[in-house]
């Protein structure tokens, strides 16, 4: 597999509007996409910075992965996302290396991408997301 970009850094927030206004006021940056991703139980906003994004995640309910993360850890860094060209190849290579996969099969992410998560126990506490971008973007 080849990682060709840090696609985004995912940040968990309680209030997406408040967080977006902080990013705008402090850093002068704005979201390019904002969408509800039911499959992940989040409303997300993607703020472009250079060739990567900051992804702000607000849970749709307390009983969702990001909702539970916020309850136990509070706001802040949630995951690191790498862009890959072939997500199936990446998952099978990781499995061969003994990585603990949260998703053995890719699922739908924002922007029409296919994504899969790798458990934080595999990489020193960092949850990693693999992203295979849609060719429409």
Q: Which residues bind Co ion (CB under 5 A)?
A: 10, 55, 81, 129
Biggest distance spanned by C-alpha atoms of the chain? 45
Name the active-site residue from 43, 44, 58, 132.
Answer: 44
Query: In the annotation, is 137 catalytic?
Result: no
Query: In the annotation, is 78 catalytic?
Result: no
Q: Which of 106, 108, 104, 112 is nearest to 133 (CA)?
A: 112
Query: In the annotation, is 132 catalytic?
Result: no
Query: In the annotation, is 44 catalytic?
Result: yes
Nearer to Co ion, 12 or 14 (CB): 12
Q: Report the C-alpha dihedral over residues 36, 23, 124, 119, rounded to 10 degrees.
A: 0
Residue nearest Co ion by beta-carbon distance: 10
Catalytic residue ranges: 8, 44, 55, 79, 129
């Amino acid at each position: 597999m080849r990682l060709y970009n840090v696609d985004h850094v995912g940040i968990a927030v309680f209030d997406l509007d408040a967080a977006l206004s902080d990013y705008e006021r402090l850093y002068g940056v704005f979201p390019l996409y904002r969408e509800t991703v039911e499959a992940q139980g989040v409303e997300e906003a993607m703020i472009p910075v250079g060739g990567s994004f900051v992804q702000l995640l607000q849970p749709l309910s307390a009983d969702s992965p990001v909702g539970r993360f916020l309850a136990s850890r509070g706001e802040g860094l949630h995951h690191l996302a790498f862009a890959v060209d072939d997500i199936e190849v990446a998952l099978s290579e990781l499995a061969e290396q003994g990585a603990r996969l949260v998703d053995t099969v890719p699922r739908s992410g924002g922007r029409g991408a296919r994504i899969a998560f790798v458990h934080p126990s595999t990489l020193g506490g960092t949850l990693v997301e693999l992203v295979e971008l849609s060719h429409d973007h």
